[in-house]
Structure 1
Amino acid sequence: MLTAALTSTATSSRPFVVPSETRTIPVSNNNNNNNNNHVEPDTSHIRIVPHLDSSRSLVFSVIERDVAEGTILKIGRFTDKYASSTRITFKSKVVSRGHAEIWSKNGKFYIRDTKSSSGTFLNHVRLSPPNQESRSFLLNDNDVVQLGVDYQGGTEEIYRCVKMRLEINRSTQQRTTFSLNTFQSLRNLTTPPNNVTVLDSAMTSNNTNTKLGNEEFHVEECCICLYALAPFQSLFVGPCSHTFHYKCARPLLMNHPGFLCPLCRNYADLDASVAVEASEVLEMYKKEKEQQQQQQQTNTSPILTNDDDTKAGDTVTQDPSGNPTDPSSIFTFMPSQSSSPTTS
């Protein structure tokens, strides 16, 4: 009964239209390949992520595969009987057990529907009528593939269709550089933290310091799981500038919008207004820079005395007790008791 209902829903809500002929498998030309001196890789990479276009989209774990030439990835409904690296399954009743296939050829990926009842859609176009195997269609980077259609409105996850977005043979170099730069910028913003506590100092002993060339590189850890904070991870930065893995901090957000930092115990309202203009941020930076300059001048400015024998501008050093002393004299100044010098 479920299969019949799905079939009628798919055919009635979306009429079958064959995708554009430009999406079919192109005829390979060995002569052109030889002329271009282009060597295709032995394996191709595909990354499948959920396509979230509505609040009822089915969320699944990201799937990544290095597919060898001629290897077929079989797509279907999840079952405990079959477990293989060449099988991709989803926990949805609108997906047939043998729904579709994806394979690699000459560095490119192709897809076909394998007689599914609820249909396979490529960029919103159905590949074949119900229970009929489709032709093979070329897949491009960022294509959207849908398995089946929602049943009973998709109110329950098990009756939702699977919408996925394909990332095909993407270069990891740019993504790696971007992630590393972003991670380094985050470290510059949050290290050292604004709130230094005794626990922070204790945690520092567990962190790793190493030198990369002439620069010392500091690797921080998440205080919840004690694993390193690294690129390609989702991080949560609290208003107090303490940083955690988002996965680790998520249980702390159960009382949203209230957040209590596990390190400094500072409370923050995560729904607080963020209406701050760029000019206000620049003014904050300007004031902080002025305060830092004043602090540096205070630390490096000479200490002057009222003694007639000491000329203005002469520097006076301090002894370990903090009292100013003149290195050219045997006198010790005691400003807290008297302005006149006393002999030691």
Structure 2
Amino acid sequence: MTKFYTAFYHARWAPSVFSDSDGQYIGFDQQVHTVSAGHAAQYTSFSGWDIYRSLIALKATLFPQETSDMAQSLVNDADQCGAIPHWVNDTVEDGVMPGDAGSLIVAGAYAFGARAFDTSGALKHMIKMANAPGTACNGVTTNGGRASYLPFGYITNGEWGQASSTLEYASSDFAISQIAGQLGNSTIQKMLLSRSAYWQNLLNASLPPPLIGARNSDGSWIAQTQSSTNNYVEGNAGQYTWMVPFNPVGPFAQLGGNTAAVSRLNAFFTVLNAGMSLPNFYMGDEPTFEVPWLYCRGYITGRVRRRARRTWSSRSWRAPSAQGRTVCPAMTTSARCRDGMRPVRPARSTCRA
């Protein structure tokens, strides 16, 4: 229980209140604003790439009004700077990490019950970010990879980690499609749901074993092995091959079906905290967060709980230091996962147990 409550405490650190006691705050436009009626605070400290995967779902489930204020804060930022920022420090879009994490945060908050914010304004920004390359927050591009992602169906340049960032954009497309559908925009829902399948363009089935790889603009494959880290953000080809959280059926089919995929998962978990050099589970960083729950796709739910508890019991979680990936704080939300439960699909209020 000490570990659980320590991690839960960490999960309350951020995002943090930015407005003063009278509701005033400095906006991204460097003007003084006042928190609008119905909201308690303006928030900052969004480490988007880290927290969209689980922290926002946890907060929206337990604290829907507070999380609604967080979502509204991002919409306010976008109104002032031009796009939903993906890494917020005070009034600055730091531009840290790739992808469109801002859309994933807002859509995820909505899916898990935080809905008291300007949803139509949020969707307007998300649609622009999904379809207009070069969209920026105060000059910092929030979707640099879209310039190649849209015409080619995968990223060739303009974004760190072109292979892994293609998966990030596919997740964003799926998330935006879900909130668009909930808000009645079926045209955008269908378009972006279809586009979320772009991850398949990078599944190199000719390799033994098949991997998510990177491609040139002429369609040719860039050479890689399971341990390749070029073209992947804080991970390698073997780790990112599993990162299609919104469509776990897809990778299983591409990897040869349930039996073959489960066998590969078993090999993946022979190392628990591999770092970026080995093509195994790396509990210390975000890209493999969802992988233990893929056993559900193989109909081996008991193994999910064993993997989750094994992670929870490992040294890097031991109190009082509770080391691990606590960036604003992403990893500590695994407090929710100690018995095998976590949100698995971006912007869908579904959990696996």
Q: Which TM-score bucket, shorter chain as reference?
A: under 0.3
Q: Between Structure 1 and Structure 2, which shows a larger proportion of helix residues?
A: 2
Higher relative contact order (CA 8 A, sep 6+): 2
TM-score (norm 2): 0.21
Give TM-score scaled by structure 1 length. Answer: 0.21
